[in-house]
Amino acid sequence: MSAPFYLSVNGLRTRARVEGNPDNPPVLLLHGIGRSLEDWAPQYQRLSGAHRLVAVDLPGFGFSARPHESITLPVLARWVADLFDTLGEQRPVHVIGNSLGGAVALQLLALRPECVAGLILVNSAAFGSEVTALLRLLALPRIGRLATRSTTRAVARLTERAIFADRSLATKDRIDHALAIARQPDRGIVMHETTRALATGRGVRSEWRAELMAAVAAHPRPTMIVWGDRDRILPAHHLRAARRLIPHAETFLFTGIGHMPQIECPDEFAELVLPFLATTTDH
């Protein structure tokens, strides 16, 4: 198994991890807001046997540098396309995106359809307005700016526990890691900037969701959408909207699972994803 390393993508110091044979079909793993590539750790060994896995800290998140422009979905999607160029990956890539990472994957398909072979959207943003109160708070102009200036251990613990149905998964190591991310330079600014772009105090903005779905509809790709039925960040009933908006997608609802099935039920997640990748990958 490899370790995370740093590379430059358009001049931005970027943290990444690559697993598997480079000749295998490529799969890109994208994390959610305020998170890092560690959110895919249980899947590296499970998925890398048949695929070249690339996991990254998106710009401004994890331990990657903040971009020079305000963070929006198009900014993140264009950066992902530039990452492919930097890695010399010219093949269409299957993108697995969790939460914000799912919205970035959809935006990449809208902007650069030739880059995307297929999508696996995991408890993905873009399918409804409801979102956890914490993110709605961060989207408020003044309160959000103040709230993102510092993160206490108590807030990090609360956030980690909200992610999982099984709160014992909010371990000391995960809380320590969340605090280390929160203490990176400009991380508060990035969180406030991103939530302001995507949401208001009332919920996820409808404008960008409608525009994105219209663009995605023009470029159908093999798609799987999965959710945990005990998600406290983006509620599971968003899966119904996802089925309506992407009717050709395969869908699955995990029972007793929260916002990150790839961590909370790693074996079941891999057993679901691997056959989909096998049947939709052009070898």
Please state the domain extents for the chain.
5-129+206-280
Q: What is the pLDDT of residue 283?
A: 45
Q: What is the pLDDT of residue 139?
A: 74
Using DSSP, how many helices (H) and how many strands (E) does the chain show? 12, 10
Provide the whole-model pTM.
0.95
Q: What is the pLDDT of residue 186?
A: 86
For the chain, which ranges sit under pLDDT 50?
283
Closest CA to 14 of 76, 57, 75: 57
Q: What is the DSSP letter of 113?
A: G
Distance CA 270, CA 12 (A): 32
Q: Which residue intervals of 125-265 are DSSP H helices?
A: 133-138, 141-147, 153-163, 172-182, 187-198, 206-217, 238-245, 261-264
- DSSP, collapsed to helix, strand or coil, labels residue 31 as coil
CATH architecture of 5-129+206-280: 3-Layer(aba) Sandwich (3.40)
